[in-house]
């Protein structure tokens, strides 16, 4: 069921974003009197479609392959590779006969729409829910093997990355890479220490999930209805051991309780200045049915008016972060290419149950990723088409159609190679 929910969210998200993207091309084309031959949600591979209808000069439809969609513009060398049309006499309604600045706007329309959607989505999030985050200044890290190898320890509080003071705990791992951090200052107990980063481990950091987890002390908030309701556990109790095995954080308790599932054990708790031993029942899932005291989440609330600049700012910072991530991909020494993922990786981002806040937040991020990716100057992408048009506008010389066809083929080969890399990385992570 979880896989189904995630799959449906991926299909819905990508379909919406690609529809928004292609609508940008469609809108600018129609504005300049350029004919749009086909506008499809999903792909009509083999000419088969769930539905199709004609409106004006355009055939609209819903294809049977539920990934993406496309907008076929008359007189344009695109992924359809309709060379027969390009051999005909240029017509006034075709893309190729219009001024370069109009063609540039048509090609940029999809990217513009994706950026605009991201801004609107973030504005809506700010106005509806505000901006919530776990403050790094109040948090300690729980490390995985890689973080331990690099010199971090569970319970450390990260103070500075070089001269930068991180605020959002969730961004610690991303900022470590994006800022190319050389020195991390941490508070360990009462001591302040400097940890110097090994830049050769950048690729490992990118591919190591939960390098910095939030260290949550096992402090009881409340006890759920069930066998442990009368166990004696109270709000504020700090559990320090289960069955004689010490636990300091929530993460420590999971393997301990899993090994004691479906049994009655003793829980050692600290209450005020007293240390008590209380009997608790561990269920078959390795849980004792308590709610934890979680670190306080800071929430910045916005009015509709103040949400506008906040949404724009968040869009800008997200774009900047993603551009830095892409910059790492072209540096093979970082190993960042191993972090590239396909729709399988995208599916892992979505929650296992429906949540409007998370869905819209992920949708805004994916919209930015789609826009930035399309700006890469690969011939098969919008960025490649825009580059050739800018060349024409600067030099006054239009690239020949044979060159454009060849460039489109090269670009498509590069895109397929990237797709195979992404899918291969996903399979490697699964297997």
Q: Which residues have CB under 8 Å from 363's CB, separation 6+?
A: 13, 16, 17, 121
Q: What is the CATH number of the domain that holds 234?
A: 2.30.42.10
Cα–Cα separations (whole angstroms), residue 100 to 30, 32, 83, 391, 401: 16, 12, 21, 10, 15
Model pLDDT for residues 242-267, shown as the tens digit of each residue: 999 999 999 999 999 999 999 999 99
CA-based torsion, 307, 323, 343, 383: positive or negative: positive
Provide the number of structural domains found in the chain: 3
- For residue 297, give the 3-state DSSP assignment: strand
H or E element in which residue 157 lies: strand 157-161
H or E element in which residue 293 lies: none
- Dihedrals φ, ψ of 179, to 5°? -90, 0
Give the residue among 334, 242, 247 at the shortest CA–CA distance from 288. Answer: 242
Q: Is there a single domain that holds both residue 429 and residue 308?
A: yes
What pLDDT, on the 0 to 100 scale, is given for residue 428? 66
CA distance linking residue 278 with residue 268, whole number of Å: 6
Residue 370 placed within a domain: no
Task: Say if residue 108's pLDDT is above 90.
Answer: yes
Give the residue among 111, 29, 117 at the shortest CA–CA distance from 387. Answer: 111
Asked whether 133 and 168 are in contact (CB, 8 A), the reply is yes
Model pLDDT for residues 344-374, shown as the tens digit of each residue: 667 677 887 888 999 999 999 999 999 998 8
The share of the chain scoring above pLDDT 90, in percent, equals: 50
pLDDT band, very low/low/confident/very high, at 341 (cuts 50, 70, 90):
low
Name the average pLDDT for the chain: 87
Exposed e or buried b for every residue in 403-424, given b needs 16+ CB within 10 A?
ebeebbeebbebbeebeeebbe
Q: Range of 99's domain?
A: 1-130+302-357+401-431
Task: Say if residue 333's pLDDT is above 70.
Answer: no
Task: Provide the token pair at 46.
Answer: 């083999």
Give the residue among 42, 38, 7, 13 at the shortest CA–CA distance from 25. Answer: 38
Answering whether pTM is above 0.75, one says yes
Residue 364 placed within a domain: no
Model pLDDT for residues 22-44, shown as the tens digit of each residue: 999 999 999 999 999 899 888 88
Task: Say if residue 188's pLDDT is above 80.
Answer: yes
What pLDDT, on the 0 to 100 scale, is given for residue 42? 83
Please count the CA atoms within 13 angstroms of the CA of 93 that sit on its side-chain side. 9
Q: What is the CATH number of the domain that holds 206?
A: 2.30.42
Q: Is there a single domain that holds both residue 149 and residue 207?
A: yes
């Amino acid at each position: 069921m979880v896989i189904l929910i995630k799959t449906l969210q991926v299909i819905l998200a990508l379909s919406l974003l690609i529809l928004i993207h292609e609508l940008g091309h469609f809108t600018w084309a129609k504005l300049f009197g350029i004919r749009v031959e086909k506008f499809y949600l999903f792909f009509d591979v083999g000419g088969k479609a769930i539905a199709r209808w004609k409106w004006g000069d355009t055939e609209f439809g819903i294809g049977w392959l539920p990934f993406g969609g496309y907008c076929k513009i008359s007189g344009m060398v695109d992924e359809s590779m309709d060379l027969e049309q390009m051999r005909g006499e240029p017509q006034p309604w075709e893309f190729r006969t219009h001024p370069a600045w109009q063609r540039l706007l048509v090609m940029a329309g999809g990217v513009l729409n994706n950026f605009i959607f991201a801004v609107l989505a973030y504005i809506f999030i700010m106005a509806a829910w505000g901006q919530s985050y776990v403050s790094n200044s109040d948090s300690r890290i729980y490390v995985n093997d890689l973080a331990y190898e690099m010199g971090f320890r569970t319970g450390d509080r990260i103070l500075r990355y070089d001269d930068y003071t991180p605020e959002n705990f969730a961004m610690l791992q991303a900022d470590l890479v994006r800022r190319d951090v050389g020195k991390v200052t941490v508070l360990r107990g009462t001591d302040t220490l400097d940890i110097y980063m090994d830049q050769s481990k950048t690729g490992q950091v990118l591919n190591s999930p939960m390098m910095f987890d939030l260290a949550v002390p096992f402090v009881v908030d409340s006890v759920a209805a069930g066998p442990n309701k009368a166990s004696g556990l109270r709000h504020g109790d700090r559990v320090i051991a289960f069955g004689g095995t010490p636990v300091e954080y929530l993460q420590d308790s999971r393997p301990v309780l899993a090994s004691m599932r479906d049994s009655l054990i003793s829980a050692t708790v600290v209450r005020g200045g007293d240390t008590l031993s209380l009997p608790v029942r561990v269920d078959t899932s390795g849980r004792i049915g308590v709610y934890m005291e979680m670190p306080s989440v800071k929430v910045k609330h916005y009015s509709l008016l103040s949400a506008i600049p906040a949404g724009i700012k968040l869009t800008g910072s997200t774009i900047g972060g993603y551009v830095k991530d892409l910059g790492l991909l072209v540096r093979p020494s970082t190993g960042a290419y191993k972090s590239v993922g396909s729709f399988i990786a995208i599916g892992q981002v979505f929650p296992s149950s429906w949540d409007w806040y998370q869905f819209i937040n992920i949708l805004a991020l994916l919209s930015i990723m789609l826009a930035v990716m399309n700006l890469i100057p690969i011939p098969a992408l919008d960025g490649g088409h825009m580059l050739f048009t800018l060349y024409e506008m600067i030099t006054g010389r239009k690239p020949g159609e044979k060159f454009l066809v060849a460039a489109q083929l090269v670009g498509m080969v590069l895109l397929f190679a990237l797709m195979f890399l992404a899918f291969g990385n996903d399979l490697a992570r699964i297997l």
